[in-house]
């Protein structure tokens, strides 16, 4: 039921070519997609979300591997549009695991009665802009056709898994699992010989969780990670009442900080502190057991090599202690060739201690790279076949651009987003791409939501902006919104200039696209801060969306 009548285009006189018409289509039913569906439906639009999974949750639907949990605190990994909703769900601990987060997103979808407008088990194959009629013509992999005026991609920044990663995978006699495609049925690893490839945030969670259960484990390490031990206390009803009482304060706070968390760089300038004072700050943030050591200590570590080295050495020292100063393990597992925080820092729980177990072996992939998978296991460059029963691939994603590139998206003049992004990844503040009218994006490259953010903060902010923009356009007699080439150029330049001042661009990782062969190098996430990005978005809205052509 329409709560208000927006002057949308409608489908009168339009050849639907056997399809259906909707005012808006949302791709994905994760954190962003659920909220976007809610907002557009509330505006009175006919809208449907299409979701490849059989349930809601996005990341929290797909990533059901052992140990999956978020590392933003539960009190801020939240929706902020409804205090009632916030209070209606009590997290059991500071960093809940995947099953609880999936349940929470189901609770959100049920409370808002969203599922009736979500089509599950449906993957969007293509979306072509029909220039004559100024609508998007969409086709699902099952051949369904949908025509829509507005297309909002909420398909996630880490949702295109690198699942077909090694030659010979199909020949493997045992079971092979990518962590982001983990089965719903229990996987029995008890007593098995298990290989884990990858030691990013995902690999670390898997390794520490399955270690007590497996018969033996071979961990294939290429680039080691800095880590921070997670402190994860249980939350009581009284705790949640206390967080709930701070709802408005937290809601305001997360929008203003550097990374969308409640903490920020409040420690004061590095140069004004004595070495003892600096260590004190680092020690207390280390004890906090959250990402605050990274995102709320000294911002100088992102710009200044000397500060970066000191903070890195602080963390290395902690890691060495945990590894009992074992030279071989320290060499393999403690990073030395990039600075702390120039890549995503994972929280962990007894991860390093796993390497001290007698049934755990490591393979140094820097020395002997994986060449292929063979029927018995994994072959490395020295010709060794590492025989295992199960292979767990925690090898990551084609991040930021991957989810959209895997859909055949064609804008004006039949231009292909995939082809364009194979040359250069560009967007207009991660909200639109010039040449693709009425296509809006969340979690796309060149916005903080592509990586450097507490996801719920940034995704909601983008959904709010997109909704406001569509509402504004329609109420001002327009049917089409498109970022101009000049606006996009300016944003890309500003993005690059901001990134170039930091050390992040020197480190190879998915942040820079370097984990995917041939992917053009650019920092995927805007690094000017969530607060600044948010302010800029608000100014655009206040000033009538300059840089976005409407007609
Ligand atoms: P990732 O950070 O890209 O890590 C992939 C791992 O696989 C790396 O260790 C990589 O080594 C290794 N790898 C890839 N190809 C390889 C090969 N051919 N041979 C050997 N090793 C190979 O992916 P991820 O761990 O899935 O994490 C992605 C992001 O998801 C995280 O950064 C984080 O933002 C998010 N995440 C969040 C949470 C959370 O909230 N707690 C949990 C999990 C993931 P190289 O580094 O050498 O390429």
Q: Are residues 416 and 538 in the same domain?
A: yes
Residue % of the chain over a pLDDT of 70: 99
Q: Are residues 146 and 50 in the same domain?
A: yes
For residue 69, the 8-state DSSP code is B
Residues 6+ apart with CB under 8 A from 43: 3, 4, 6, 467, 470, 471
> Please, what is the average pLDDT of the chain?
97
Asked if the structure places residue 248 within a domain, the reply is no
Q: 525 or 2: whose pLDDT is higher?
A: 525
Asked if the structure places residue 251 within a domain, the reply is no
Terminal-to-terminal C-alpha distance of the chain = 27
Q: Are residues 379 and 427 in the same domain?
A: no
Distance CA 304, CA 289 (A): 24
Whether pLDDT at 82 is above 80:
yes
Q: Are residues 57 and 99 in the same domain?
A: yes
Q: Are residues 86 and 96 in the same domain?
A: yes
Residue nearest to atom 36 of ligand 1 (CA): 201
Whether pLDDT at 301 is above 90:
yes
pLDDT band at 5 (very low <50, low <70, confident <90, very high): confident
Q: Are residues 141 and 173 in the same domain?
A: no
CA of 426 to the centre of ligand 1 (A): 23
Residues at CB less than 6 angstroms from ligand 1: 69-71, 158, 197-203, 205, 220, 222-223, 344, 365, 370, 394-397, 510, 515
Instruction: From the CA of 223, give the closest atom in ligand 1.
Output: 47
Asked if the structure places residue 424 within a domain, the reply is yes
- Position 4 scores a pLDDT of 54
Mean pLDDT of 173-199: 98
Pocket-testing residue among 349, 362, 395, ligand 1, by greatest number of atoms within 8 A of Cβ: 395
Give the containing element (helix H, strand E) for 251: helix 247-256
Q: Can you read off the two tokens belonging to residue 487?
A: 């606006």
Which domain range does residue 273 map to?
Answer: 262-295+297-343
Q: Is the pTM of this model over 0.95?
A: yes
Asked if the structure places residue 50 within a domain, the reply is yes
Whether pLDDT at 242 is above 50:
yes
CA of 143 to the centre of ligand 1 (A): 34
Q: Are residues 517 and 456 in the same domain?
A: yes
- Position 394 scores a pLDDT of 98
Residue nearest to atom 43 of ligand 1 (CA): 202
Distance CA 56, CA 111 (A): 13
Whether pLDDT at 532 is above 70:
yes
Asked if the structure places residue 253 within a domain, the reply is no
Instruction: From the CA of 179, give the closest atom in ligand 1.
Output: 26
Asked if the structure places residue 232 within a domain, the reply is no
- Position 6 scores a pLDDT of 84
Whether pLDDT at 314 is above 90:
yes
Mean pLDDT of 239-255: 97
Asked if the structure places residue 504 within a domain, the reply is yes
Whether pLDDT at 214 is above 60:
yes
* Number of structural domains in the chain: 3
Q: Are residues 406 and 392 in the same domain?
A: no
Distance CA 270, CA 291 (A): 19
Whether pLDDT at 79 is above 50:
yes
Residues 328-378 have pLDDT tens digits of 999 999 999 999 999 999 999 999 999 999 999 999 999 999 999 999 999
Residues 410-438 have pLDDT tens digits of 999 999 999 999 999 999 999 999 999 99
Phi, psi of 118 (to 5 degrees): -120, 130
Distance CA 284, CA 292 (A): 10
Q: Are residues 166 and 151 in the same domain?
A: no
Residues 6+ apart with CB under 8 A from 146: 19, 20, 21, 22, 25, 48, 50, 137, 138, 139, 140
Asked if the structure places residue 115 within a domain, the reply is yes
Q: Are residues 407 and 534 in the same domain?
A: yes
Q: CATH number, domain at 480?
A: 3.50.50.60
Q: Are residues 166 and 152 in the same domain?
A: no
Q: Are residues 326 and 391 in the same domain?
A: no
């Amino acid at each position: 039921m329409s709560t208000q009548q927006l002057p949308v285009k409608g489908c009168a006189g339009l050849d639907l070519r056997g399809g259906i018409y909707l005012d808006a289509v949302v791709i994905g039913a994760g954190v962003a997609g659920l909220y976007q569906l809610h907002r557009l439906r509330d505006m009175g639009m006919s809208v449907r979300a299409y979701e490849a999974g059989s349930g809601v949750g996005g990341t929290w639907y797909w990533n059901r591997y052992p140990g999956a949990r978020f590392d933003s605190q539960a009190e801020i990994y939240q929706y902020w549009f409804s205090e009632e909703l916030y209070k209606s769900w009590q997290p059991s601990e500071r960093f809940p695991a995947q099953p609880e987060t999936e349940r929470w997103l189901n609770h959100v979808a049920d409370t808002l009665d969203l599922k009736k407008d979500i089509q599950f088990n449906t993957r969007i194959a293509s979306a072509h802009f029909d220039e004559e009629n100024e609508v998007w013509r969409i086709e699902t992999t099952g051949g369904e056709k949908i025509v829509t005026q507005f297309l909002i991609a909420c398909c996630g920044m880490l949702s295109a898994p690198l699942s077909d990663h090694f030659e010979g995978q199909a020949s493997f006699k045992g079971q092979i699992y990518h962590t982001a495609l983990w089965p719903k049925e229990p996987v029995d690893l008890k007593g098995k010989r298990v290989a884990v490839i990858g030691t990013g945030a995902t690999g670390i969670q898997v390794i520490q969780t399955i270690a007590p259960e497996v018969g033996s484990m071979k961990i294939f390490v290429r680039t080691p990670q800095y880590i921070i031990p997670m402190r994860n206390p249980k939350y009581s009803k009284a705790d949640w009442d206390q967080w709930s009482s701070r709802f408005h304060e937290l809601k305001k706070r997360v929008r203003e900080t550097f990374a969308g968390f409640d903490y920020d760089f409040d420690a004061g300038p590095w140069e004004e502190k004595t070495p003892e004072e600096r260590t004190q700050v680092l020690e207390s943030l280390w004890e906090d057991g959250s990402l605050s050591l990274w995102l709320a200590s000294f911002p100088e570590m992102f710009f200044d090599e000397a500060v970066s080295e000191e903070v890195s050495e602080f963390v290395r020292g902690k890691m060495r202690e945990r590894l009992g100063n074992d030279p071989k393990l320290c060499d393999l597992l403690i990073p030395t060739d990039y600075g702390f925080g120039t890549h995503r820092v994972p929280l962990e729980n007894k991860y390093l201690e796993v390497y001290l177990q007698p049934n755990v072996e490591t393979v140094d992939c820097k020395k002997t790279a994986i060449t292929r998978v063979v029927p018995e296991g994994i072959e490395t460059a020295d010709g060794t076949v590492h025989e295992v029963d199960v292979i767990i691939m925690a090898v990551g994603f084609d991040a930021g651009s991957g989810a959209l590139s895997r859909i055949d998206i064609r804008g004006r003049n039949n231009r292909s987003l995939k082809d364009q992004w194979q040359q250069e990844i560009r967007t207009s503040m991660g909200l639109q791409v010039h040449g693709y009218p009425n296509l809006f994006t969340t979690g796309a490259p060149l916005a903080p939501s592509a990586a450097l953010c507490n996801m719920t903060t940034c995704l909601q902010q983008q959904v709010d902006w997109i909704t406001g923009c569509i509402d504004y356009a329609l109420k001002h007699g327009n049917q089409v919104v498109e970022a101009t080439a000049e606006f996009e150029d300016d944003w890309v330049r500003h993005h690059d200039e901001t990134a170039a001042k930091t050390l992040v661009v020197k480190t190879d990782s998915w942040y820079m696209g370097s984990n995917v062969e041939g992917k053009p190098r650019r920092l995927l996430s805007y690094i000017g801060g969530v607060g600044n990005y948010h302010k800029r978005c608000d100014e655009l809205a206040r000033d009538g969306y300059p840089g976005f052509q409407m007609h």
